[in-house]
Amino acid sequence: MKYDDDMKRRLRRAEGQVRGVLKMMEEGKNCKDVVSQLSAIRSAVDKTMALVVAVNLEQCILDERENGGDTNKVVQEAVELLIKSR
């Protein structure tokens, strides 16, 4: 699978957020603020994960159709992958 620049950019942003949270912790910032940032990081990573699965699913369905394969199996695998990620 090819991972596009948007996917990588999203993860770099989350990486920066993690560094920011570590700095907040080192500075003894308020727990509420730290947890708020951690929640934002989790949300960003979840959205990126969904994007990766969606793009991969789209390509897999196209490949299966070209080869006369069963697209239902591909969809089921994607659903299972998303469920495991929770």
Q: What is the pLDDT of residue 64?
A: 87
User: Which residues, 6+ apart, have CB-to-CB distance to 84 below 8 Å?
Assistant: none
Distance (Å, rounded) from C-alpha 55 to C-alpha 63?
12
Over residues 3-27, the pLDDT tens digits come to: 999 999 999 999 999 999 999 999 9
More confident residue, 72 or 26: 26
The DSSP-derived string for 15-62 is HHHHHHHHHHHHTT--HHHHHHHHHHHHHHHHHHHHHHHHHHHHHHHH
> What sign does the CA torsion over 26, 32, 38, 41 have?
negative
Residue 86: the pLDDT is 73
Q: How far apart are CA 86 and CA 25, in angstroms?
A: 26
Instruction: Please report the pLDDT score of residue 37 as a whole number.
Output: 98
pLDDT tens by residue, 25-59: 999 999 999 999 999 999 999 999 999 998 988 88
Instruction: Return the CATH number of the domain spanning residue range 5-84.
Output: 1.20.58.1000
Average pLDDT (72-84) is 87
